[in-house]
Amino acid sequence: MSAEAASRAPIMPLRDLVRLYLSHAGNFGRPVALSAFGLTNAETGRLFSGYDEDYHISRFLQFAEAAGEKFSINGIPATHVSLDAEIESIL
């Protein structure tokens, strides 16, 4: 793997991200603070920005800005994410 590819590789596989999301949300469609994923601000931004850039994944991610720690997801501030249940169709 080249250095460029390694820097773009997700730090958490999608399946693990969904599993962690559900452990916090309890069910799909409920907002979870991005800080709950236990990553640094930079790691959180990189992880979710990477998934947000992939059309097949991004359509299942809903970002929101509310009270809480702010993260930059592709340059847009966000504090929470919710996942649509249909994301399971691509796992």
pLDDT in tens, 47-76: 999 999 999 999 999 999 999 999 999 999
Question: How many beta carbons lie within 10 A of that of residue 70, not counting itself?
Answer: 15
Is 58 among the domain residues? Answer: yes
> To the nearest whole number, what is the mean pLDDT of the chain?
91
pLDDT score at 11 = 85
The DSSP 8-state label assigned to residue 75 in this structure reads: T
Is 91 among the domain residues? Answer: no
pTM: 0.88
In the structure encoding, which two tokens stand for residue 4, read together?
């460029």
Q: What is the mean pLDDT of residues 11-20?
A: 96
Is 70 among the domain residues? Answer: yes
pLDDT score at 54 = 94
Q: How many domains does the chain have?
A: 1
Rounded Cα–Cα distance for residues 23 and 86 (Å): 17
Q: Which domain holds residue 23?
A: 3-85
SS (H, E, C) 30-53: CCEEHHHHCCCHHHHHHHHHHHHC
The letter for the amino acid at 82 is S
